[in-house]
Amino acid sequence: MLPRRRSRGKPRAVRLAPGPSAVAFSPDVREGPMLREIEIDPDIRRARTLPAEFYHDPAWFDAARARIFARSWQLVPETRIPQEPGHAAPLRLLPGTLDVPLLAVRDAAGEVACLSNVCTHRGNVIIEEAGPISTIRCGYHGRTFELDGRFRSMPDFEGCEGFPSSDDDLPRLRTARWGPLLLATLGDPAFEPDALLAPVTERIAPLGLDRLTWDPATAREFEFDASWALYCDNFLEGFHIPWVHPALAKTLDYRGYRTDLFELSSIQIGIAADGEPAFDLPAGHPDAGSRVGGYYVFAFPNLMLNFYPWGLSLNLVEPLGPARTRVRYLCWVWDASLRDRGAGAGLDQVELEDETVVQSCQRGVASPLYDRGRYSPSREQGVHHFHRLLARFLNEGGGER
Domain ranges (residues) in the chain? 74-175, 189-396
Q: Rounded to an integer, what distance in angstroms lies between the CA atom of residue 101 and that of residue 60?
A: 24
Percent of the chain surpassing pLDDT 90: 84
* Confidence at residue 397, expressed as pLDDT on a 0 to 100 scale: 64
Half-sphere exposure of 398 (CA within 13 A, CB side): 16
Q: Rounded to an integer, what distance in angstroms lies between the CA atom of residue 188 and that of residue 177?
A: 18
CA separation, residue 241 to residues 156, 163, 236, 253, 396 (Å) = 65, 61, 11, 11, 34
Percentage helix, strand, coil for the chain under 3-state DSSP, each rounded to 5: 25, 25, 50
Query: Above 70 in pLDDT, residue 5?
Result: no
CA separation, residue 327 to residues 76, 212, 232, 303, 348 (Å) = 14, 21, 11, 10, 12
pLDDT in tens, 227-256: 999 999 999 998 999 999 999 989 999 999
Q: Rounded to an integer, what distance in angstroms lies between the CA atom of residue 122 and that of residue 140?
A: 9
Q: What is the pTM assigned to this prediction?
A: 0.89
pLDDT band at 34 (very low <50, low <70, confident <90, very high): low
20 close to 99: Cβ distance less than 8 angstroms: yes
Stated length of the chain: 401
Reduce the DSSP state of residue 343 to 3 states and report it. helix
Q: Comparing 74-175 with 189-396, is the CATH topology the same?
A: no
* Confidence at residue 396, expressed as pLDDT on a 0 to 100 scale: 80
Query: Above 80 in pLDDT, residue 72?
Result: yes
Mean pLDDT on 142-155: 96
Highest mean pLDDT among 32-36, 199-203, 262-266: 262-266
Q: Rounded to an integer, what distance in angstroms lies between the CA atom of residue 241 and that of residue 254?
A: 8
pLDDT in tens, 279-324: 999 999 999 999 999 999 999 999 999 999 999 999 999 999 999 9
SS (H, E, C) 52-68: HHHHCCHHHHHHHHHHC
Query: Above 50 in pLDDT, residue 166?
Result: yes
Q: Which fold has domain 189-396?
A: Naphthalene 1,2-dioxygenase Alpha Subunit; Chain A, domain 1 (3.90.380)
Q: In terms of Cα–Cα distance, which of 84, 101, 80, 83 is closest to 92? A: 101
Query: Above 50 in pLDDT, residue 15?
Result: no
Average pLDDT for the chain = 90
Amino acid at 4: R
297 close to 196: Cβ distance less than 8 angstroms: no
Q: Rounded to an integer, what distance in angstroms lies between the CA atom of residue 335 and that of residue 315?
A: 19
- The CATH class, in words, for 74-175 is mainly beta
pLDDT band at 106 (very low <50, low <70, confident <90, very high): very high
83 close to 106: Cβ distance less than 8 angstroms: yes
* Confidence at residue 35, expressed as pLDDT on a 0 to 100 scale: 79
